[in-house]
């Protein structure tokens, strides 16, 4: 067993090149076995095994900087850098992170859960290297999907302009190379990266220009011929024009060819773009056959590929997708827009039913937002289906192009709240804070999947500007789904239980926790009011004044950033209206990033549990003997 001999990159370098191919197969089997128990990103990591081996064999991490875009394809990198024995803890509380993590290893030099950042990071590291007079290599590895992100092109443009020495590796697992042109590609890669060739090309141009009278014309003619040949034969002309030397495409599963290409790249002064072709899911038939399904997978049976999903109520995402089809059957103006997440956003059934009204823009959240604004201004009803964490990337467009235009865009914000194993880079806990202060927008969150359906109808019937409904990454509560959908009055809250002394205003899944809290407290003689604060903007001002008048304290319960979300909005409202005498207690997510664990464990970490809310109510109740002062309200 070769893999058992690898505890770090230096152990890998002790092997012969011929030993790397069998090692790659051992790594694949290790990943297939371990992820069958933990789940995780399987297909992308099976596809990058040889590429990662070649990089660590050729270069010296952590001195040389290997920068993985997104980082979900860095499992092999983790194995080779001493973390193989931690894979049983992958994506679990206090365990190995599913992405690159700087505090996990010195070999993890850049961490990101969002795509298209690696090239900008690489440029920053190359600049710092040169300013400090150091000489390490900088190597970002980016996928063909991430290359569609606008930020990647901004970085390519800058890198090509500055001519910094670094090697961009495009891990392309979608395109294929035609065998009849492979030899030409390899030939061009060799001669264009050979230092003698590059030097000879410059010397010939100098000699031509020295010929009296006609030297300059000959040099220009030679340049034109060279450019013509380049445009005919060089497959990476886009990257050449951006200032890179393009090498490839190269077979990403042939370690010998990869090492040869890296050697060629090291001979080139300035930026190099290496185009590597890989197969997602390589070595495991179910993952090769459906790399989309096996991108991020739950535990599974190795032999059959059967995914072991717990039986339960439909996810909110599924309910959203089914309801959107219902609404689209009734309204031809509905267009679904997603930034590369049709499966994750529950839109695959919609795309099959309405292929012309389903738009996947790729990893381009900003473009999607502005496009939705224009669609709405032309009379369509765009539904921007996006994860909360990815919507952050379109903040400027939401402000400038959607809300400022008061464009009637519907936001379907998935993964709102904790997301579990994906961890801190994906937590959907900031969208309330960064959206509710923008003029013109309406924000909603349902207490259950049935209310989500009614909110979707509310959004469709709303014509006065942008409107958003956010929903969590959990199974629904199992309530009966109404057949007839009825719009909810904008800004109206729902009082679920009538109590005295203390009110709990909750949103989303926290409503269920508030109700369970009320059940427990009732047995000890404490009756609390429970409110479904389903509109985050506008607030239900009438109910807020009633609650303050009838209660001495209110607990605001939300699975969102405590700073800037519903609790902040309520405090602002009471301050503006000079309401006194009702203490407000905030129970949300504190001012820190919450790492990967199960959603249940994440809630326990921050005190968003029934037990914690019961304790809070009892604590507040015990303090009610103190004088709160006379309540005052505006006349």
Number of other CB atoms surrounding residue 271 within 10 Å: 27
DSSP line for 283-342: T-HHHHHTTTTTSSB--B-TTT--B-PPP-SPBHHHHHHHHHHHHHHH-TTEEEEESS-T
Contact 1, 25 (CB under 8 A): no
Q: Which residue out of 365, 424, 515, 559 is catalytically annotated? A: 365
Residue 54's φ and ψ, nearest 5 degrees, are -65, -40
Q: Residues with Cβ < 8 Å from 274, sequence gap 6 or more?
A: 167, 168, 169, 170, 247, 248, 250, 261, 262, 265
Rounded to a whole number of angstroms, the CA Rg of the chain reads 29
How do the residues of the chain divide into helix, strand and coil, expressed in percent and rounded to 5? 45, 15, 40
534: which 2 tokens? 């389903």
> Could you tell me if 462 and 491 are in contact, meaning their C-beta atoms sit under 8 angstroms apart?
no
Owner of token pair 């937590």: 427
Task: Report how far residue 100's alpha carbon sits from residue 96's, in angstroms, rounded to the nearest whole number.
Answer: 9
**Per-position DSSP letters for 326-383, written without gaps between them:** HHHHH-TTEEEEESS-TTTTT-HHHHHH-GGGEEE--S-HHHHHHHHHHHHHTT-EEE
State how far the Cα of 585 lies from the Cα of 587, in Å rounded to an integer: 7
393 is catalytic: yes
98/193 Cα distance (integer angstroms): 36
Selection from 476, 486, 424, 415 nearest residue 454 by Cα: 486
Task: Check 28, 101, 192, 393 and give the catalytic one.
Answer: 393
* Half-sphere exposure in the Cβ direction for 19 (13 Å, CA): 12
* Residue 91, phi-psi category: left (phi > 0), alpha (psi -120 to 50), beta (remainder): left
Residue 107's SS3 state is coil
Tell me how far apart the alpha carbons of residues 349 and 355 are, in angstroms, rounded to a whole number: 10
One of 280, 282, 436, 473 is an active-site residue; which one?
A: 280
Question: Is-contact 72 66, C-beta < 8 A?
Answer: no
Instruction: Map tokens 């309330």 to a residue.
Output: 432
Active site residue 129: no
331 and 382 in contact (C-beta within 8 Å)? Answer: no
Give 529's strand partners: 503
CA dihedral over 545, 547, 551, 553, signed as positive or negative: negative
Query: Which residues does 324 contact at the CB level (< 8 Å), separation at least 6?
Result: 334, 336, 347, 350, 383, 412, 456
What totals of helices (H) and strands (E) does the chain contain, helices first? 25, 17
Cα distances (angstroms) measured from residue 479 to each of 395, 508, 559? 34, 14, 21
- Asked if 314 and 475 count as a contact pair (C-beta separation under 8 A), the reply is yes
Reply yes or no on whether 515 is catalytic: no
Neighbour count for residue 586 (Cβ, 10 Å):
18
Residue positions annotated with a catalytic role: 280, 365, 393
């Amino acid at each position: 067993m070769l893999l058992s001999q690898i505890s770090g990159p230096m152990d890998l370098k002790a092997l012969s090149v011929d030993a790397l191919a069998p090692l790659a197969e051992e790594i694949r089997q290790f990943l297939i076995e371990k992820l069958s128990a933990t789940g995780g990103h399987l297909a992308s990591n099976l596809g990058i095994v040889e590429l990662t081996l070649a990089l660590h064999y050729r270069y010296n991490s952590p001195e040389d900087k290997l920068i993985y875009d997104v980082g979900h394809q860095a499992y092999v990198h983790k194995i080779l850098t001493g973390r193989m024995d931690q894979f049983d803890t992958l994506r679990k509380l206090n365990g190995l992170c599913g992405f690159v993590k700087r505090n996990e290893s010195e070999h993890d030099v850049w961490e990101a859960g969002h795509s298209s950042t690696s090239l900008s990071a690489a440029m920053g590291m190359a600049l710092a290297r040169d300013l400090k007079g150091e000489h390490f290599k900088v190597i970002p590895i980016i996928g063909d999907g991430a290359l569609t992100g606008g930020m990647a092109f901004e970085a390519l443009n800058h890198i090509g302009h500055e001519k910094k020495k670094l090697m961009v590796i495009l891990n392309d697992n979608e395109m294929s190379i035609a065998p009849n042109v492979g030899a030409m590609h390899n030939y061009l890669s060799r001669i264009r990266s050979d230092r003698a060739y590059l030097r000879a090309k410059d010397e010939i141009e100098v000699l031509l220009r020295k010929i009296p009278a006609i030297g300059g014309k000959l040099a220009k003619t030679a340049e034109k011929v060279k450019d013509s040949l380049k445009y005919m034969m060089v497959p990476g002309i886009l990257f050449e024009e951006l200032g890179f030397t393009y090498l490839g495409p190269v077979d990403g599963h042939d370690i010998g060819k990869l090492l040869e290409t890296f050697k060629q790249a090291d001979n080139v002064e300035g930026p190099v773009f290496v185009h590597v072709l890989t197969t997602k899911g390589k070595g495991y038939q179910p993952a090769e056959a459906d790399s989309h399904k096996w991108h991020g997978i739950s535990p599974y049976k190795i032999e059959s590929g059967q995914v072991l999903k717990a039986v339960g109520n439909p996810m909110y995402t599924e309910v959203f997708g089914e309801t959107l089809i219902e609404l689209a059957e009734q309204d031809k103006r509905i267009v679904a827009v997603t930034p590369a997440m049709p499966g994750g956003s529950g839109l695959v059934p919609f795309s099959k039913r309405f292929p012309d009204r389903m738009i996947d823009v790729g990893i381009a959240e900003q473009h999607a937002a502005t496009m939705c604004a224009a669609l709405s201004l032309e009379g369509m009803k765009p539904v921007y289906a996006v994860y909360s964490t990815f919507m952050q990337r379109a903040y400027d467009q939401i402000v400038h192009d959607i809300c400022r235009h008061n464009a009637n865009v519907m936001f379907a914000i998935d993964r709102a709240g904790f997301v579990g194993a994906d961890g801190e880079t994906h937590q959907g806990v900031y969208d309330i804070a960064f959206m509710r202060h923008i003029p013109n927008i309406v924000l909603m969150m349902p207490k259950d999947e049935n209310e989500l359906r009614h909110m979707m109808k509310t959004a469709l019937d709303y014509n006065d500007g942008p409107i958003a409904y956010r929903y969590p990454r959990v199974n629904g509560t199992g309530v009966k789904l109404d057949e007839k959908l009825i719009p909810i009055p904008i800004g109206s809250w729902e009082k679920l239980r009538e109590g005295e002394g203390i009110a709990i205003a909750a949103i989303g899944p926290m409503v269920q926790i508030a109700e369970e809290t009320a059940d427990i407290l009732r047995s000890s003689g404490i009756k609390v009011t429970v409110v479904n604060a389903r509109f985050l903007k506008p607030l239900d001002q009438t109910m807020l004044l009633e609650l303050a008048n009838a209660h001495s304290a209110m607990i605001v319960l939300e699975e969102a950033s405590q700073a800037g979300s519903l609790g902040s909005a309520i405090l602002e409202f009471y301050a503006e209206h000079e309401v006194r005498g009702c203490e407000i207690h905030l129970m949300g997510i504190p001012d820190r990033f919450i790492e990967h664990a199960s959603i249940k464990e994440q809630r326990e970490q921050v005190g968003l549990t029934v037990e914690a809310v019961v304790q809070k109510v009892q604590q507040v109740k015990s303090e009610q003997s103190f004088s709160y002062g006379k309540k005052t309200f505006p006349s």
